[in-house]
């Protein structure tokens, strides 16, 4: 099986969020970047497990500048066979999806994996876009994936429950918690990653149709109003009359 895992670089979960350039840019100063957890923990690891069982290859793809190579190398250390970086600044989801689709069309993968969303922009758009551009089915928020020959059985999260379905390859799948368990790269993996091929390719021409014009921080929370634990009637009154939420 020929598998592609698309990975993003995101600020780590506890990073302080601030903006520069008159609130038009995310301020990267002092921020540590990681591979998007949904891409790393679930999408990549499940792809590796399938390869280990049935043979084939796992390619990592990232759309981004050279600084992203550290994240790509981590994916190779965890076990991917090779990597491709499409050299461009990823400013909009459709731009990124077009880059991924252009690469994937030429290569012909059996499955394309992504995390269910990135933890920075939370858009959950790129997987669906890639599927549409490839004219392939899309399974979103997958929590289980088994493959037998070229037929897959998948479980995905739906509102208030889950849905089990089957389909044939090729398809695009986005990974949710439960699809796999996080793997920590070992020293051998880290050493081997340095010798694995990382190909850098030029981006194809595509325009950004939707871009961030400005950022703002949410209004500061006013200080918590403490209620006497022996006076829950007061809390109920406040929720009714002041907050008006019940």
Partner 1 sequence: MVLVYAESPKGKFKKSAFEAVTYGHKTAQVLGTECVALTLGDAEDAGQLGKYGASKVVSVSDAALNNFDSQVHTAVIAGAAAAVGANVVIVSHSANGKSLLGRLAAKMDAGSVSAAKEVPTNDGAFKVKTNVFSGKAIATYQIDSDNKVLSLMGNAIQPEEVGGAVAVEALSVAVPASRITIKEVKTVDGTVPLPEAELVVSAGRGMKGPENWGIIEDLAETLGATTACSRPVADTGWRPHHEHVGQTGVAVRPNLYIAAGISGAIQHLAGVNSSKVIVVINKDPEAPFFKAADYGVVGDLFEVVPALNQALKDYNAAN
189 to 208, contacts with partner 1 by CB under 8 A?
A: 208
Task: Tell me the CB-side half-sphere exposure of residue 11, using CA atoms within 13 A.
Answer: 15
Q: Which of residues 139-178 bind partner 1 (CB under 8 A)?
A: 139-141, 153, 157-168, 171, 177-178
One of 127, 179, 180, 196 touching partner 1 (CB under 8 A):
127
Say how many residues touch partner 1, by CB under 8 A. Answer: 79
Furthest-apart CA pair in the chain: how many Å? 68
Decide: helix, strand or coil at residue 105: helix
Q: How far is CA 67 from CA 71, 73, 87, 224, in A?
A: 8, 11, 10, 41
Q: Which of residues 67-96 bind partner 1 (CB under 8 A)?
A: 92-94
Cis peptide before 49 (omega within 30 of 0): no
Give CA–CA dist 67/61, Å, rounded: 14
Query: Any contact of residue 245 with partner 1 (CB under 8 A)?
Result: yes
Report the residue number, 83 or 147, with the smaller CB distance to partner 1: 147
Stretch that binds partner 1, among 50-58, 67-75, 187-195, 216-224 (CB under 8 A): 216-224
Q: 226-232: long-range contacts at Cβ-Cβ below 8 A with a sequence spacing of 24 or more?
A: none
**Interaxial angle between packed helices 126-134 and 93-107, expressed in degrees from 0 to 180 and rounded to the nearest 10:** 40
Report the residue number, 113 or 138, with the smaller CB distance to partner 1: 138
Question: Shortest Cβ distance from residue 86 to partner 1 (Å)?
Answer: 17
What value, to the nearest 5°, has the Cα angle with vertex 11 and ends 211 and 19?
Answer: 55
Stretch that binds partner 1, among 62-70, 104-112, 195-203, 232-240 (CB under 8 A): 232-240
Query: Any contact of residue 122 with partner 1 (CB under 8 A)?
Result: yes
Query: Any contact of residue 214 with partner 1 (CB under 8 A)?
Result: yes
Give 6's strand partners.
61
Report the residue number, 200 or 239, with the smaller CB distance to partner 1: 239
One of 107, 132, 146, 181 touching partner 1 (CB under 8 A):
132
Q: How far apart are the first and last CA of the chain?
A: 54
Question: Shortest Cβ distance from residue 213 to partner 1 (Å)?
Answer: 4
């Amino acid at each position: 099986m020929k598998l592609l895992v698309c990975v993003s670089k995101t600020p780590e979960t506890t990073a302080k969020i601030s903006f520069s350039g008159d609130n038009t840019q995310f301020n990267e100063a002092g921020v540590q970047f990681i591979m998007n957890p949904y891409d790393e923990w679930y999408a990549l690891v499940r792809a590796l497990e399938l390869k280990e069982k049935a043979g084939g290859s796992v390619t990592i793809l990232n759309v981004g500048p050279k600084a992203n190579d550290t994240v790509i190398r981590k994916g190779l250390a965890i076990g991917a066979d090779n990597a491709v970086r499409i050299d461009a600044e990823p400013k909009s989801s459709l731009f990124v999806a077009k880059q991924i689709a252009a690469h994937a069309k030429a290569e012909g993968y059996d499955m394309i994996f992504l995390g269910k969303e990135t933890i920075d922009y939370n858009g959950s758009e790129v997987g669906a876009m890639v599927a549409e551009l490839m004219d392939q089915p899309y399974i979103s928020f997958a929590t289980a994936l088994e493959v037998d020959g070229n037929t897959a059985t998948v479980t995905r999260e739906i509102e208030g429950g889950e849905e089990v379905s089957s389909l044939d390859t090729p398809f695009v799948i986005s990974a949710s918690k439960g699809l796999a368990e996080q793997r920590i790269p070992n020293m051998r993996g880290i050493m081997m990653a340095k010798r694995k091929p990382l190909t850098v390719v030029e981006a194809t021409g595509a325009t950004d149709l939707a871009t961030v014009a400005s950022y703002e921080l949410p209004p500061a929370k006013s200080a918590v109003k403490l209620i006497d634990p022996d006076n829950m009637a007061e809390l109920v009154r406040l929720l009714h009359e002041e907050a008006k939420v019940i």
